[in-house]
Structure 1
Amino acid sequence: MAASSTALAKTDMDTTVEIEDVAVRFRTKKKDVAALHDVSLSVASGEFVAIVGPSGCGKSTLLKLVSGLLKPSSGRVRLLGEDVRGPRRDIGYVFQRAALLEWRSARRNILLQAEMRKMPAAQARERTDELIAMTGLTGFEDAYPHELSGGMQQRVALCRALLHKPPVLLMDEPFGALDALTREQMNIELRRIWRETSTTVLLVTHSIPEAVYLADRVVVMSPRPGTVDELIAVDLPVDRDYGKTMAAPEFARATGRIRDLLGAATSAD
């Protein structure tokens, strides 16, 4: 099931993200630290790719490279056919914490993105209403963060990230702080929203079941310095019922292979 760096792209679709022979090294007071080494990955337009690996292997670093928040020490990163040379405005980014402004309602937290981007007011309001309905926040648009559950706060953060219709959505452990039941519900919602928006998604997660349920492919990273250990193609239907998916032999094979690669005896939930 291993994939070479030249075989990581889906050849029948346009490539949105290209990472070619990338290395990232940091210098500390005492030594140089290699975070990533010889990483190559291509992500097709509209594809959902999950990234798993041991703590400290450079998963979040990969997202920072794609967003332009970090420059590679060597190698090349391209987004939508252009070299990434600095922070990109044409992406969405969702972090583990919702990072909502406590003094703004859910709607006004979403519209913060519009204010920063100077989007036309009418267009922003229409898009906000569309996303509120899509994410099941109708009736809570005027609630403040302290009045929302953790799952609802993350839905607001997701709406904010999707407001400008980014072609690429980066997600760094977005559900890691949620309880198991809420996380399951958010997985189902995210899968549905991805199907409706056709946005290219790169998701970093420590949960093997989450990665397999959500993604078309799963990138398994090696310990630091991180590189692509193996690329797992998820052989599951596009329409995925959560319960049936968890019981599917294809799901068991994929999660089992990832656990073998990571040396994990139990679920990484």
Structure 2
Amino acid sequence: MSSYAVEISDVTVRFRTKKRDVLALREVTLNVEPGEFIAIVGPSGCGKSTLLKLTSGLLAPSTGSVRLHGEDVTGPRKDVGYVFQKAALLEWRTARKNILLQAEMRHLPAREAQQRADELIEMTGLAGFEDAYPHELSGGMQQRVALCRALLHRPPVLLMDEPFGALDALTREQMNVELRRIWQETGTTVLLVTHSISEAVYLADRVVMVTARPGTVAGVVDVDLPVERDYGRTMADPEFARATQHIRDHLGAAQAAVVGD
């Protein structure tokens, strides 16, 4: 049995369209430890979201293999949580009932699901808003509901595809702080796709840099910051500046190399 939570081994993904074949990812290899927080950054269209779809089993690689906790991913997995850029809440259901939709779909025991929902509502600061409908919630609150829904079944792996991209800057900062805290409390393995280098460095243990399409891993940056990260102090930390600049420089060089090819 493998010790890794996620293993992506020499994966290439090709799509066929009516007009041409598209090489989305080329020979990508990535190993993720249990409980690790990984951020994936790179230019638009480089295949970042495709990596999450491969991990969840929503997409099969053209070549190579994907494994979760030592098991080959051969189809959609029930042991992952998924948070998208849009909260995708049902407008006719309250926050609590949107969270519990996960339990209904997975046929979880009702009492256990209710208790878990209560824990998550408290953990994410939604207490007092559990009976509100989506139109009564801010964008940040809606994403909290979506996060609770994804965590309801206690998935060992949480996939997040640009979950805060549509939020204003201040709300996004608040959600970064909340996500970092929730990750520490749950111990879930997280793979986060983001276009924000600063967000990636603040949140992650390691940042994976992906080149322009066809996407491949340009490098991995270890983030040498304290586990407990006050947002203001982290932004002023020399290590934060070093890591963000290194990623910018490296992605720029990788982009130039792809163009040169």
TM-score (norm 1): 0.93
Task: Specify which of 191, 195, 206 is matched with residue 206 of structure 1.
Answer: 195
Whether 1:165 aligns to 2:154 is yes
- The match for 1:260 among 242, 245, 249 is 249
Matches within 5 A, 1:62-211: 62-211=51-200
**Partner secondary structure for residue 163 of structure 2:** coil
Instruction: Report the Cα distance in structure 2 between the residues aligned to 1:89 and 1:105, rounded to whole angstroms.
Output: 24
- Distance in 1 separating the partners of 2:114 and 2:75: 29
User: Residues 218 and 251 of structure 2 are in contact (CA less than 8 Å); yes or no, is this contact kept in structure 1?
Assistant: no
Report the Cα offset of residue 263 of structure 1.
2.5
The 5 Å alignment of 1:18-97 reads 18-97=7-86
Distance 1:245 1:117 in 2: 39
- The equivalent residue for 2:221 is 232
Identity level (%) = 78
- 1:262 positional shift: 2.3
Give the residue type in structure 1 aligned to 2:231.
Y
Corresponding position of 2:257: none
Partner of 2:258: none
Letter in 2 for 1:37: R
In the TM superposition, residue 253 of structure 1 has moved relative to its aligned partner by 0.4
Cα deviation, residue 261, structure 1: 1.8
Question: CA separation in 2, counterparts of 1:197 and 1:78?
Answer: 22
Who is 1:8 aligned against? none
Q: In the aligned structure 2, how far is the partner of 1:151 from the partner of 1:29? A: 39
- Checking the alignment, whether the CA contact within 8 Å between 2:10 and 2:65 is kept in structure 1 is yes
Structure 1 spans left out of the alignment, 5+ residues: 1-12, 265-269
Please give the root-mean-square deviation of Cα atoms over the aligned residues, in Å: 1.0
Task: Flag structure 2 segments of 5+ consecutive residues without an equivalent.
Answer: 254-261
Tell me how far 1:30 sits from its aligned partner: 1.7
In the aligned structure 1, how far is the partner of 2:187 from the partner of 2:155?
10
Q: Distance in 1 between matches of 2:3 and 2:67?
A: 13
Q: Deviations over 1:136-161 (max 9, x none)?
A: 00000000000000000000000000
Could you list the per-position Cα deviations for residues 30-59 of structure 1 after superposition, in whole angstroms to 9, with x for gaps in the alignment?
A: 211100001000000000000000111000
Deviant stretches of 4+, over 6 Å? none
SS at structure 1 position matched to 2:88: coil
- Alpha-carbon distance in 1 for matches of 2:105, 2:21: 37
Q: CA deviation at 1:247?
A: 0.3
Q: Decide whether the 8 Å contact of 2:12 with 2:63 is kept in 1.
A: yes
Q: TM-score, normalising length from structure 2?
A: 0.95
CA distance in 1, matches of 2:70, 2:176: 30
Structure 2 CA distance, aligned partners of 1:47 and 1:64?
Answer: 19
For 1:65, the aligned partner's letter is L
The alignment partner of 2:24 has SS state of: strand
Give per-residue Cα distances to partners, 1:217-249, cap 9 Å, x unaligned.
000001100000000000101110100000000
- Partners of 2:30 and 2:177 lie apart in 1 by 26
**In the aligned structure 2, how far is the partner of 1:90 from the partner of 1:220?**
26
- Cα shift at 1:14: 3.0
